[in-house]
Chains A and B, each alone.
Chain A
Amino acid sequence: MKNFIKSIVFIIIFLIIFCCVFKVLWLGKTYVSFLIYDEPKNSSDIVYIGSSAVYTYFNPVLAYDLYGFTTCFCATGSQPFNAIKYLLKETQKYQNPELYIIDLATSIEDWDFFDEGAIRRTTDSMKFSKNRIDAINEILKYKGIDKKDYINYYFSFLRYHDIWRDITKENFTKNEYSYKGFILSPESSKNIYIDEFNWKDDIMEISAEKKQILMELIEYIKVNNLNVLFTIPIRDTNKADNAQLNYVTKILRENGFNVINFNTLEDFSVNYATDFYNTSHVNIYGATKYTLYLSKYLNDHYDLPNHNGDEAYNSWENEYVRFKQDFKALTKKDFNKILTKYSN
């Protein structure tokens, strides 16, 4: 019995050290806004799932300040679209939102687009569970990865143990999200001039594989009776992508879902000269316009609670104050004035 206890103690100490070591030895939360575990259990009114078009477009602390509902991000850069079913399942374990918003930006992407980084950002963000393994199996199956390499995704340390050689002070500091996951950075406050998008009404059928993934997602949502809104972010897309997104929109609408395509909204105006920091993402000004539009839409069309003034949600107010201060420090502009200008 003494030996058995000794063995257990040895293993427990090992696991504790192991967890501490691999909190340091990983790539950090780069291009990730995955907060379903960070937010208090069942505290989110909305969970927004998708790619970078989530955390660079929608500012949850601004939406909270305006309407009082909380939005939790479950977003990773270039998120594989077939992961969404599993992310919904994962979210259901920790949050019970009134509404899910699913970003369709990557729904039409080919498998080449989802590189190892894109896959790992999603799967590494998920806690170890059967659902995570199922997600990995699903993503890697479509990606065509050799089955013997799946293990490197199941156990992330097989990938990250080697980054000890590139370790910096940042690896040891706590990696927390600011502004509830919204990205405010020197890059996102810049702007480039881009030509006005030539969005057409053409429709092009997506591949059978992509359609199957979409239909499986639809089925999952229906079976689980989830309230879902789909969004297509405004961005420069080519003719084929544009036509495929129209097709995805058509299928979703045929299945009774609400889809907001920001590229075709007449009452949503962005300035192509000032509101983008690259062809795929709006900058902080574009994001403010996006948030103003979407948050109003959500407030008008869904029965969402208003937590403004509730002490339990103080962190949201604090993050908004911090956001405005950081915005000013970064742009030398008053965010309230920007807001007033856009609101008019």
Chain B
Amino acid sequence: MNLTSLVFLIFCIMALGIYFIVPKKFQWFILLISSVIFLFWNNLSVSTVIQALLVLLASYIFGILIDKYHDNTIKSKIFLIIGISIILGQLICLKYTNLFSVTINHILKLLHIDFQLGLSYFNSLVGISYYSLIMISYLVDIYRGACKSQKNILKCALFMSYFPILTSGPFIRYNDIEKDLYGKHKFNYDSMCRGLVRTIWGVFKVLVISQRLGMFVDTVYGDLATYTGFYTIVAALFFPLQLYTNFSGSIDIIMGISEIIGIHLPENFTAPFFSKTLTEFWRNWHITLGAWLRDYIFYPLLKSNAMQNLTKKTKKIFGKKASKKISLYLSMLIMWTIIGAWHGGAYTFIIGSGLLQFLIMVLEDTLEPLSNKINNKLGIKKEVFSYKLYQIIRTYLLFAFTMIFFRASSVGNAVEIIKNMFVWNPWVLLDNTSIYTAGLDIHDFRVLIISLTTLFAVDKLSRTGSVREKLFKQNIIFRWGMLYILIFAIVILGCYGVGYDPAAFIYRQF
């Protein structure tokens, strides 16, 4: 069920309508039923039911056991490990078996061994990567004493499957959402208005901008023989914007819907394209994933005995500062590999959204003193607008480069795209016709210029406070006028209906 489809709209209206009609003590149960319907929409089979039940039962049973034996560190640790192993095991089986097979097949081929492992295609549930990590954090939080286990299995099921977040997140923590999720909510007109505005803004991002950019990107990447040079460069520059508007737009829809029913979810983006370094970028992009990995992988890893021992051993050879960096970079390497792998069971994801991000961040960190030195010597002012703009553009270009791998169908395809960029054909941007042959006409480009300018203006404003709150402080005529403009921009300019594929969420597959 697509977040921008009419089916989802009807589904939400029904779910939200019933939610506010039923006695308040049953509200959470309506959310559970809605979530189950959403989870198994077009995907109901014995295999998918088993998948969901396995994660639910592992989380529920081991959550209670960890809680029960909280005073017994060894027992609770064993239960934690078993619980995580079950959840992680099914995730790996369903998503990474092929990556394993492909790797083995490559090695066998290199060794000239005439044997190949077959590829398997499992029908995994929507949001499997999200709910698996959410339930792992649930078990860890109980183990750490940050929260109590949920004794009602149905409520536990709701936490696992809360429908708006299944497609694109954000990652929720049990402690943060428990009250809202199971609480009693009265219909609130202001919450509804605020939620709707956010939802509409999200739909605008997805249907007007992301889908439109996607038409260009898909056309170019789908025919690299025809579209070379500057076509490929423009497509590579468009893709991060497509990804951002798709992902953050769907998050806006999710957060808007949740806000209507009084559930407050953590923010996942804060204008990432205004970041001056890639490190800062990732603090503003998919924030909840970063926080999850930081709290449940990076810090535990950095503080682990193995890393401490490594620091001690390397200290004697490289000195104190360098030894700390080695442990830090190694932990980062592991974390970024996991981030890459989480995005998908393919090397393109591991390289694009993992290893390259790690590499650039390490370079940013290690080259910073040198960069400062050069700047000082050349007398380059770092506080002026032009330097900040340069940093923002540099960060965007670096991210766009990494995303070539993320978007490519294979590593070989990514290399082909990069090679393609070096074909010299700048006239395609200047002859006033060529650029309009790649899926978008002049009208589409005009729409993109206006809508992207609006998007960046809103993003920029959002760094100094909520744009929505600023809008709600205005007079009704201005407020409604803006809303009508936004709604009709979606209705008229949105890429939906006949001739367009239904808005497929790029992040949905994760």
A-to-B contact residues, CB < 8 Å = 3, 7, 10, 13-14, 17-18, 21, 25, 149, 151-152, 157-159, 161-162, 164-165
Contacts and interface: CB of A to CB of B under 8 A. Distances in A.
A10 B479 CA distance: 11
Contacts of B492: 21, 25, 161, 164
A216 B166 CA distance: 48
A159 B189 contact: no
A14 B499 CA distance: 25
B484 A159 contact: no
A184 B499 CA distance: 34
Q: Is the interface of B mostly helix, strand, loop or mixed?
A: helix
B50 interface: no
Given A21-B491, A165-B441, 8 more contacts: A13-B484, A14-B484, A18-B491, A25-B492, A152-B498, A164-B443, A164-B492, A164-B493
A260 to B, nearest CB: 39
A89 to B, nearest CB: 27
A161 B491 contact: yes
Ranked 3 nearest A-B pairs via Cβ? A158-B497, A165-B443, A3-B189
- Max count, chain A CB within 10 A of own CB: residue among B444, B491, B494: B491
A164 B494 CA distance: 11
A132 B359 CA distance: 60
Contacts of B443: 164-165
Contacts of A3: 189
Interface size bracket, B side? 10 to 19
B189 A13 contact: no
A16 B499 CA distance: 27
B318 interface: no
Nearest to A163: B492
Given A3-B189, A10-B480, A14-B484, A157 B491 contact: yes
For chain A, what secondary structure do more than half of its interface residues adopt (helix, strand, loop), or is it mixed? helix
A25 B496 CA distance: 15
A203 B75 CA distance: 88
B6 interface: yes
A158 B499 CA distance: 10
B456 interface: no
Contacts of A18: 488, 491
A294 B198 CA distance: 62
B487 interface: yes
B6 A17 contact: no
B488 to A, nearest CB: 7
Interface in B446-499: 480, 483-484, 487-488, 491-494, 496-499
Given A17-B484, A164-B493, A158 B498 contact: yes
Contact of A161 (B6, B483, B497): B497
A151 B8 CA distance: 14
19 contacts: A3-B189, A7-B189, A10-B480, A10-B483, A13-B484, A17-B484, A17-B488, A18-B488, A18-B491, A21-B488, A25-B492, A158-B497, A158-B498, A159-B497, A161-B491, A161-B494, A162-B497, A164-B443, A165-B443
B497 A152 contact: yes
Contacts of B487: 14
Given A3-B189, A17-B488, A18-B491, A162 B499 contact: yes
Contacts of A164: 443, 492-493
Interface string B422-454: 000000000000000000010110000000000
B496 A13 contact: no
Contacts of B484: 13-14, 17
Contacts of A14: 484, 487
Contacts of A152: 497-498
A106 to B, nearest CB: 23
Contacts of B441: 165
Contact of A151 (B6, B444, B491): B6
Interface in B33-54: none
B264 to A, nearest CB: 21
Contact of A158 (B483, B488, B493, B496): B496
Nearest to B493: A164
A91 B487 CA distance: 35
Nearest to A153: B498
A309 to B, nearest CB: 49
Interface in B160-216: 189
Contacts of A158: 496-498
Contacts of A21: 488, 491-492
Nearest to B190: A3
B498 A159 contact: yes
A149 B499 CA distance: 11
A13 to B, nearest CB: 7
Nearest to B446: A165
A18 B490 CA distance: 12
A159 B189 CA distance: 33
Contacts of B189: 3, 7
A192 B255 CA distance: 65
Interface string B4-15: 001000000000
A165 B492 CA distance: 10
A18 B444 CA distance: 22
